[in-house]
Chain A
Amino acid sequence: MAKLETKIHNITLKNPVMTASGTFGYGEEFADFIDLSRLGGIIVKGTTGERRQGNPYPRMAETPMGMLNAVGLQNVGVATFCKEVYPRIKDIKTNILVNVSGSSIEEYCSVAEQIDELENIPGIELNISCPNVKKGGMGFGTKPDMAAQVVEAVRKVYHKTLIVKLTPNVTSVVEIAKAVEGAGADSVSLINTLLGMAIDVERQRPYLSTITGGLSGPCVKPVAVRMVWQVAHAVQIPVVGLGGIASAADALEFLMAGAKAIQVGTANFMDPTVTVKIVEGLEDYCQRHKIEDINDIIGII
């Protein structure tokens, strides 16, 4: 059988298939459907300094081949995560990474510091695309200098693998990727959701309580593949690709575009077993194409 093992900085993944933050709960929600140890990794829910309620309902709307969400970082807060959630999930036999979110540099650093203490969490994914931040309401992820500033600060307090998650809602994602690489990121993951909007014409009002929200699912895939390809050619650090992946063929597009690993998000809602099917599909593809090591096709485009 082909070797599917890949590496993101110091983290060895048994295969390139991970799950995307906010779409896979804490992993436990899927334990009835799949053997979680078959996955390369699980990125758990976005975690902030304090408990958050998120945005008012309705905060989801289905769109053609995709969905909009405006969950707004509802989570239990880092202290409860460390005390109650971590003990329940720490022995799952895969890489468990925490998606770290915040509204200020201090909050990002404080959450990262507390997660650093957790032995079985080998890395974090820093979510710098939160729109509700202190400075002028501008996301840290949309300005290269601000992105670099938050990554530099977190780098000082966080000692394990630091993946920085990039937003696609920028003119040049390459510029942001280079800025966070320069500031000490060990890896970048992309894409987060695309800012979108949908209107219920019968009721003459937006579907989401927040009016705008994040678009995900198969409809975003071509944008995501393009961005991963651009970034993979511009930085030295490993790239994690995601956005609309629902099959092994989708995953292979990202790998060929240069991603060392991939994440599956919205597709988990359509089929809670899709991640394992993708792992099996990669094995099958390698066999059909006589590929001995999945790394041989990474970045061939």
Chain B
Amino acid sequence: MKQITDFTIVSRKQLGDHYFALTLRHPDQLPPIAAGQFVEVEVQGNRDVMLRRPISIHDVDPTANTLTLLIQIVGKGTRQLAQLQEGDRLNLIYPLGHGFAVEGQHPLLVGGGAGIAPLLHLAKCYHAKGIRPTILLGGRTKDLIPVREAFEPYGELLIATEDGSLGEKGMVTQHPQFSAAYDHICTCGPTPMMKAVGRYAVERGIGCEVSLENMMACGIGACLCCVTDTDEGHKCVCKEGPVFDALRLKKWMGLE
């Protein structure tokens, strides 16, 4: 069941120049949240931002009744959200969309940029099943990989940076451990990265889930603005996604 709720900001952390994290407390009881689901955040105080902004659920703490959002500052809406302080309220519509299946015994989670956001909750969901995923995070430089340590208790953490400032030098798909033996791959990040990871998995018959970040107006399947091309035609990313089985996205990945 979807909800619309005013949350209270209990913590705000700046993570380098481009990212910040907001931890938000629910007034009563958080509903169950699947990894990969997202919220639609109301942005107040900027007349040019009318629509809500879709943001992944980065972390969930059911005992503290909090959820955390990891936000990259890219434009007017996210810049406005960066002004929020502890104690402010934030209105969310949530939990939205269809999340990850949490499948496989030897999963690889590949994230880039803001796309690493949903992977923390996902790594924790694997961990809760007794599975230790390999987590491969990429970015142009190390400053663009805002969260690292938080992942360490839940899996094996690997880093790739294009400038070599941290971990292996190069793209995530060039990391030596990228082509190790995994039975499932989950990916979220820049479109070219997701397409490359998806193609790699599909060509080798490895199960793969891709989390898309199309622009949205409503976030709840009402406006049909957020569609992606799937093998069954246009599907709403906000409702049938954001997580799709890569096999449904062959056309999108350029495999057909």
Contacts and interface: CB of A to CB of B under 8 A. Distances in A.
A33 B234 contact: no
Contacts of A74: 224, 227, 234
Contact of A67 (B51, B229, B234): B51
B50 interface: yes
Given A57-B214, A57-B227, A272-B93, A64 B221 contact: no
B217 interface: yes
A132 interface: no
A201 B95 CA distance: 34
Nearest to B221: A29
A268 interface: yes
B217 to A, nearest CB: 5
B180 interface: no
Contacts of A270: 42, 50-52
A71 interface: yes
Given A30-B222, A33-B2, A270-B50, A67 B228 contact: no
B223 A71 contact: yes
A46 to B, nearest CB: 10
B50 A217 contact: yes
A71 B216 CA distance: 12
For A60, A217, A266, which residue has the most chain B Cβ atoms within 10 angstroms? A60
A54 interface: yes
For B215, B225, B226, which residue has the most chain A Cβ atoms within 10 angstroms? B225
Given A67-B50, A67-B51, A217-B50, A25 B221 contact: yes
A29 B222 contact: yes
A69 to B, nearest CB: 6
Contacts of B150: none
A120 interface: no
Contacts of B52: 269-270
A119 interface: no
B256 interface: no
Interface residues of B, number: 30
Nearest to B43: A270
Contacts, number: 90
A149 interface: no
Contacts of B3: 32
Interface string B68-96: 00000000000000000000000001000
A62 B51 CA distance: 7
Contacts of B4: 33, 271-273
Nearest to A22: B223
A218 interface: yes
Interface in A17-76: 22-25, 29-30, 32-33, 45, 53-54, 56-62, 64-67, 69, 71, 74
A217 B50 CA distance: 9
Nearest to A62: B51
25 contacts: A22-B223, A22-B224, A23-B222, A29-B218, A29-B221, A33-B4, A33-B93, A54-B234, A57-B214, A57-B229, A58-B215, A59-B227, A60-B226, A62-B51, A65-B47, A65-B48, A65-B50, A67-B51, A71-B224, A74-B224, A74-B227, A269-B218, A270-B42, A270-B51, A272-B4
Given A66-B50, A266-B217, 19 more contacts: A25-B220, A25-B222, A29-B220, A32-B3, A53-B233, A54-B234, A58-B215, A60-B225, A62-B49, A64-B47, A67-B51, A67-B217, A71-B224, A218-B50, A269-B52, A269-B222, A270-B51, A272-B4, A272-B218
Interface of A: 22-25, 29-30, 32-33, 45, 53-54, 56-62, 64-67, 69, 71, 74, 217-218, 266, 268-273
Closest 5 CB pairs of A and B: A60-B225, A25-B222, A32-B2, A269-B218, A29-B222
